Amino acid sequence: MPEERKFRSPSFARRPTGSGGSSASSYSSTRPNTYSSNRGGDFRRSTTGGSSSFHSSAPRKARPIQRMNNVSRFINKPVSVTEEIVHYTPEHMFKDFEINESLKLNIISKGYTLPTPIQDKTIPHILKGSDVVGLANTGTGKTAAFLIPLINKVLANPKEKILIMAPTRELAIQIDQELKGFTRGMRVYSVCCVGGAPISKQIQSLRYLNNFIIGTPGRLKDLIERKVLTLTNCSTVVLDEADRMLDMGFINDMKFMMAMMPAERHTLFFSATLSREIEALISQFLKDPVRISVKTGDTAANVEQDIIRLNKGENKIDVLHNLLTKEEFDKVLIFGRTKHGVEKLSKALISMGLKAESIHGDKNHANRQRVLRMFKEDQVQVLVATDVAARGLDIPGVSHVINYDMPASDEDYVHRIGRTGRGNKKGKALTFID
């Protein structure tokens, strides 16, 4: 998997060559169905307390929802398409990296032996102190790719202070949890600063030494303006899912915080997709960055994609219910466009006898974490979500992603379906076409 100096702009999955010319395929059920992808996003930034949550009543200017007439682009029937990843031979093993021995032991104890392509290609450059732009399919280990070398940096210099920005509170919390797993038994400290959680507790934590400050841009800016957080001694910054932060309207917050940091700094950009606007930020914020792309396509190669076309007179929720009662649909993430629609659909599925929960911006922080935990621990079969759950979340074993409503952009589609088929596992992504 060679390093690339130019990124392709993202697009929806395309049917592999030789797969035939039909624009939809039938699903083997008691009724004729075909599958496709939905669009819809419910992104609203909070205007209270600098939170990065999604519960403000003031909507951001949304991108127009595009009508996709060529449904074949939502269909991908993989035939040995995972071969490139499966047969990837890393140049290193974790034990080969020039990192702290205690960190190596923690990595091994977590079950890591061979690095993923993005980890294999990226970790040596971060260890050298190079600015890096990393592009990889979602679910391929980007978080560990930057955490491992940065933890090593802290172990070498305990006064090191690192800022990690993420677009959503769930992703920020997940990064913090993964950090704690890698640093178990070490004197490495972190604080997670996200909206929806008590700011007083975060302010108290910031009074102590924290090697890692992990948070969402809105809450981080709020803490800076309250003069309880300073970035003048942060010499390293990571922007995870940088394109998403731009899309969510965090561009000014990002620029504000970068301006508060030293001019001489170590800057890392990680994402599954990169836009032209992000390319402009890269040229502004990074110095001679190493660009690493290990993408196997715009969508995960091991995610089978198809459409569900409704026949005349069919009820959409009844069709969905028929799918969810099939044995193979054992852990399903369903995406809807609006908070109200997601909540309504969740309640309808519960009334039909399914174990379902919902996650969206109107739920408070504690409820969102509770629902995510239940879904991860298989206490519920179905999680209905707005795009708050589309980015970066590592939810093990999701068998299916269903786009009940259309995503707002190509990038949103890529990230939605990236919740299944993570790593080398197979998954299915289905989209309703009315």
Residue that terminates a domain, selected from 251, 276, 293? 293
In a domain? residue 2: no
Q: How many other CB atoms sit within 10 Å of the CB of residue 24? A: 18
Residue 126 pLDDT more than 70? yes
Residue 246 pLDDT more than 90? no
The reply to whether 33 and 148 lie within a common domain is no
Segment 368-386 shows an average pLDDT of: 92
Segment 400-425 shows an average pLDDT of: 83
More confident residue, 25 or 384: 384
Percentage of the chain beyond pLDDT 70 is 76
The reply to whether 137 and 38 lie within a common domain is no
Quick: pLDDT tens for 173-197.
999 999 999 999 999 999 999 988 8
Residue 158 pLDDT more than 50? yes
Residue 217 pLDDT more than 50? yes
Kindly report the CATH number assigned to the domain that includes residue 114: 3.40.50.300
Token digits of residue 417: 């379906």
Q: How many other CB atoms sit within 10 Å of the CB of residue 31? A: 11
More confident residue, 394 or 367: 367
| Range of weakest confidence among 130-134, 156-160, 207-211, 413-417 | 413-417
User: 162-165 and 212-215 as β-strands: parallel, antiparallel, unpaired?
Assistant: parallel
The reply to whether 158 and 175 lie within a common domain is yes
Segment 199-216 shows an average pLDDT of: 96
The reply to whether 310 and 272 lie within a common domain is no
Are 72 and 23 in contact, with CB atoms under 8 Å apart? yes
Segment 124-132 shows an average pLDDT of: 96
pLDDT at 9: 34
pLDDT at 288: 93
The reply to whether 49 and 77 lie within a common domain is yes
The reply to whether 238 and 127 lie within a common domain is yes
Residue 104 pLDDT more than 50? yes
How many Cα atoms sit within 13 Å of 316 on the Cβ side? 14
Residue 6 pLDDT more than 70? no
Residue 247 pLDDT more than 90? no
* Residue 28 pLDDT level (bands cut at 50, 70, 90): very low
Segment 320-330 shows an average pLDDT of: 95
| Range of weakest confidence among 98-112, 151-165, 267-281 | 267-281
In a domain? residue 53: yes
Dist CA 171 CA 212 (whole Å): 15
The reply to whether 179 and 77 lie within a common domain is no
Q: Which of 124, 111, 239 is nearest to 178 (CA)?
A: 111
Residue that terminates a domain, selected from 293, 313, 334? 293
pLDDT at 336: 94
* DSSP at 73: G
Token digits of residue 87: 């047969």
Residue 73 pLDDT more than 80? no
The reply to whether 322 and 175 lie within a common domain is no
The reply to whether 381 and 332 lie within a common domain is yes
More confident residue, 73 or 119: 119
pLDDT at 257: 92
Domain span holding position 316: 26-81+298-433
CA 103 to each of CA 53, 173, 184, 188, 268: distance values in angstroms, whole numbers, following the listed order:
33, 21, 9, 11, 21
Count of domains for the chain: 2
The reply to whether 58 and 159 lie within a common domain is no
> pTM of the prediction?
0.67
Q: How many other CB atoms sit within 10 Å of the CB of residue 356? A: 22
Residue 39 pLDDT more than 90? no
pLDDT at 300: 60
The reply to whether 179 and 44 lie within a common domain is no
The reply to whether 177 and 225 lie within a common domain is yes
In a domain? residue 284: yes
More confident residue, 132 or 32: 132
Residue that terminates a domain, selected from 293, 325, 341? 293
In a domain? residue 1: no
In a domain? residue 389: yes
In a domain? residue 14: no
More confident residue, 369 or 156: 156
Dist CA 169 CA 66 (whole Å): 28
pLDDT at 74: 66
CA 361 to each of CA 44, 46, 78: distance values in angstroms, whole numbers, following the listed order:
8, 9, 35
In a domain? residue 4: no
pLDDT at 423: 66
In a domain? residue 184: yes
